[in-house]
Amino acid sequence: MTTANSSAPATSNGAFDISAKTGNPNAGLRGDYSAMRADFTVPQVMNDYTSEQQARWLRLVERQLALLPGRACREFLDAVTGNPALDMRHGIPDFDSVNGALKAATNWQLVAVPGLLPDDVFFTHLANRRFPVTVWLREESEFDYIVEPDLFHDFFGHVPMLFTPIYADHLEAYGHGALKAKRLGGLDWLGRLYWFTIEFGLIREGEKVLAYGAGVMSSPKELVYAVESAIPKRVPFDVMTSMRTPYLIDDVQSTYFVLDSLQQLRDDTAPDFTPFYATLASEPPRAI
């Protein structure tokens, strides 16, 4: 799953089944998979980042930071402006340096990966409170649009919210639920839930509707559009409705689901989804 409308793709990993490849299992994949371990993690070699990449990172960060006030939810904004571990204005982050603060905050850790992961590998990492972050950064020609998730999308878009305990707990539970959904044939529906929450979710704060999803937070175009445009529909979050709603992979979203709180996300996704899959199997996706 990718998006063609934003500066970063809409999903981190888990959307590419490497096992489906034959011959070279890494054919067609961007990133160096030659050094990966059994769990698909790789070393993050800080000295491998060039001065040009460091400069590009800083430009990406500065552009997006300038857009956050009045558009990003409080948890995200507090993390990127008040947490020293997330000061991204000094260069590409060293995951090991971030992990101490992240583990203390929510008992999560970042793991470096070469790129897209098989579904079961990605979900297993989430279920064990490990968040995969791609080590490579987009090229200059991809500054405004990139097909696959890169370091900027994964780190800037996802990592700040991992410092919020209730969100971090939800993401672990999602990992467990996704592994079960794969066994039950429910992964497509659970993927829509991920899309409309973790990637493109909005949340209400008082009279305002703000963003928290990583696909929105890492994209200058989508962030402004999702929060301010009069064009898209913004509807109250509902698990079943989000699971049956088709999404757009090549344009900004036509529909965004709005939480009343992060507690709602945790509570509404706590039930066993097995009965949901049986119901959804008899229904085609339908736009709101």
Q: What is the pLDDT of residues 13-70, one digit of tens each?
A: 434 333 333 234 444 578 999 999 999 999 999 999 999 999 999 999 999 999 999 9
Task: Tell me the domain boundaries of the chain.
Answer: 18-280
Q: What is the pTM of this model?
A: 0.90
**DSSP classification of residue 281:** T
Which residues form the catalytic set?
153, 158, 199, 218
Tell me the average pLDDT of the chain. Answer: 90
Contact (CB, 8 A) for 222 and 215: yes
**DSSP classification of residue 26:** T
CATH 1.10.800.10 is right for the domain spanning 18-280? yes
Mean pLDDT, residues 148-155: 96
**DSSP classification of residue 72:** B
Q: What is the pLDDT of residue 146?
A: 85
Q: What is the pLDDT of residues 69-86, one digit of tens each?
A: 999 999 999 999 999 999
Q: What is the pLDDT of residues 238-267, one digit of tens each?
A: 999 999 999 988 789 999 999 999 999 999
Its sign, for the CA torsion 172, 175, 180, 184, is positive
